[in-house]
């Protein structure tokens, strides 16, 4: 009986310890779990477009896990998962004279375009939650929801916004962003 109690106490102690650790992860552990590749690009474009670098890193992690060659089933490409149509529009609006699909696999160009787009959405909506919802679900959907006085209507978009906001705090703590 004494052995059972000892094992139970050890299991309980280990469980509480792990729960505390997962709830209060040290920065070094978060850096392992949530890498920040292309840090200079992220910091540079965050500064250039007046974005919180932790928010930019969070969007990139959520969109592509920092995989520059990521491609979605809907055709979105690169670190920030931009569609070719959106990227071409950004290229034209930002003074580009030529857009190539291969540009979206270039981390510097992809993050530049994505940063411009995120800044555009933040300026348009004046609200981080709605800007993130538009990044995920499209501006037309968010415009309709707002016109109808409704909150985010897609469960997957609500989950996306919540996840990016969580990741923003993780990146801010782990990398001092």
Cα within 13 Å of Cα(24), Cβ side: 6
Cβ burial 131-156 (10 Å sphere, 16+ → b, else e): bbbbbbbebebbeebeeeeeebeeee
Check: CB of residue 115 under 8 Å from CB of residue 82.
no
Do 87 and 108 meet the contact criterion of CB atoms below 8 Å apart?
no
Q: What are phi and psi of 79, to 5 degrees?
A: -55, -45
DSSP label at 101?
Answer: G
| Largest separation between any pair of C-alpha atoms in the chain | 79
Q: Answer yes or no: 63 catalytic.
A: yes
Q: Which of the following is catalytic: 39, 63, 148, 165?
A: 63
With H, G, I as helix, E, B as strand and everything else as coil, classify residue 27.
Answer: helix
Query: Catalytic amino acids?
Result: 63
């Amino acid at each position: 009986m004494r052995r059972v109690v000892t094992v139970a106490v050890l299991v309980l102690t280990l469980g509480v310890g792990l729960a505390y650790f997962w709830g209060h992860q040290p920065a070094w552990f978060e850096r392992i779990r949530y890498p920040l590749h292309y840090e200079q690009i992220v910091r540079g474009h965050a500064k250039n477009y007046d974005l919180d670098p932790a928010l930019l890193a969070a969007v990139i992690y959520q969109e592509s896990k920092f995989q520059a060659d990521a491609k979605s089933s809907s055709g979105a490409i690169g670190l920030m998962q931009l569609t070719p149509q959106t990227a071409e529009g950004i290229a034209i609006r930002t003074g580009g004279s030529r857009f190539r699909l291969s540009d979206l696999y270039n981390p510097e160009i992809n993050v530049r375009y994505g940063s411009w787009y995120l800044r555009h959405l933040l300026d348009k909506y004046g609200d981080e939650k709605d800007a993130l919802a538009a990044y995920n679900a499209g501006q037309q959907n968010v415009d309709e929801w707002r016109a109808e006085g409704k909150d985010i209507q897609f469960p997957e978009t609500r989950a996306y916004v919540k996840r990016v906001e969580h990741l923003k705090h993780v990146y801010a703590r782990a990398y001092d962003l």
